[in-house]
Amino acid sequence: MSAMEVHDTIEGFRAALDTSRLAGLRVGLVPTMGALHAGHVSLLDRAARENDVVALTIFVNPLQFGPAEDLGSYPRDMERDVGIAVDAGGTHLFAPTVGEMYPGPVATTVTVSGVGEAMEARSRPGHLAGVATVVAKLFAISGSCRAYFGEKDFQQLAVVRRMNTDLSFAVSVVGCPTVREPDGLALSSRNAYLSAEQRAAAPVLQRALQAGTAAVTDGDRRAGAVREIVAD
Ligand code: PAF
């Protein structure tokens, strides 16, 4: 286990990555909200394979939680996360306070129209704008790098890609495959909230998606029919 540089200020983290780049090192960035699991480890592994510096960020971003959501109870365990990150090849950690990221009321936010307005945006108003805003800040702070995101949050990945293109950050966004439990449930920090009954039912989500995929692959192009197969 080697040591990891830990930063809680924007200035310190930015300077550390600038110094690395000046030394000719390639920087990989893995933005997270902590509660690390094997999905995050797969992002860190890939970042370690493709870069010299593996910078992990842990920040439970209040801007992406709705008023009735789980900001207060979101799982937090910094000591455990640091151990996992070091074992996975993390070299730098940025774990700012809310005050460091948002020193005053937030007047400037990033909204992504089109892909940022559909699907999850309807049930979680403000969520994807909160994600786009914090990721834009992390990209601005980190500078030129490759940034790794899971395909599990597929709409989030699409929003981040669009935001990155539109705002011309010096970042190459890399989407990484979803990591699943043996029964098909996608790994997620929030799986910890599931009751035994919900946990037993959850793998149906992957089966539903596979059934929809199979229908389309077999040539069915009727959106309503495919939707019904997924719902069944
Ligand atoms: O996917 C997450 O963990 C978060 O939405 C992200 C991208 C770190 C932004 O807070």
Structure tokens at 20: 């690395």
Mutation to probe ligand 1, out of 109, 134, 152 (largest number of atoms < 8 A from CB): 134
Q: Which residues contact 199 (CB under 8 A, 6 or more apart)?
A: 185, 191
Q: Which residues pair with 54 in a beta bridge?
A: 28
Is 80 exceeded by the pLDDT of residue 24?
Answer: yes
Supply the pLDDT for residue 134: 98
Structure tokens at 165: 């293109």
Supply the pLDDT for residue 137: 98
138 HSE (CA, 13 A, CB side): 32
With a pLDDT cut of 90, the percent of the chain lying above it is: 99
Q: Provide the whole-model pTM.
A: 0.95
Supply the pLDDT for residue 127: 98
pLDDT band for position 3 (cuts 50, 70, 90): confident
The answer to whether 34 touches 76, Cβ cutoff 8 Å, is yes
Q: Ligand 1 pocket, 135 CB below 6 A?
A: yes
Query: What whole-number distance in Å separates Cα of residue 216 and Cα of residue 35?
Result: 35
Is 80 exceeded by the pLDDT of residue 171?
Answer: yes
Question: Could you tell me the sign of the dihedral formed by the alpha carbons of 29, 35, 40, 44, in that order?
Answer: positive
Mutation to probe ligand 1, out of 109, 156, 157, 161 (largest number of atoms < 8 A from CB): 156
Query: What whole-number distance in Å separates Cα of residue 132 and Cα of residue 221?
Result: 32
Of the residues 7, 40, 92, 127, only one is catalytic, namely 40
Is 90 exceeded by the pLDDT of residue 182?
Answer: yes
Per-residue pLDDT tens for 63-73? Answer: 999 999 999 99
Report phi then psi at 218, rounded to 5: -80, 0
Q: Ligand 1 pocket, 130 CB below 6 A?
A: no
Per-residue pLDDT tens for 95-131? Answer: 999 999 999 999 999 999 999 999 999 999 999 999 9
With a pLDDT cut of 70, the percent of the chain lying above it is: 99
Question: Could you tell me the sign of the dihedral formed by the alpha carbons of 179, 188, 55, 176, in that order?
Answer: positive
Active site residue 40: yes
Q: Ligand 1 pocket, 188 CB below 6 A?
A: no
Structure tokens at 142: 């980190």
The overall average pLDDT reported for the chain is: 97
**Concatenated DSSP letters of 103-135:** SS---------GGGTSTHHHHSTTHHHHHHHHH
Is 80 exceeded by the pLDDT of residue 1?
Answer: no
pLDDT band for position 2 (cuts 50, 70, 90): low
Residue 132 Cα to ligand 1 midpoint, Å, equals 9
Is 70 exceeded by the pLDDT of residue 190?
Answer: yes
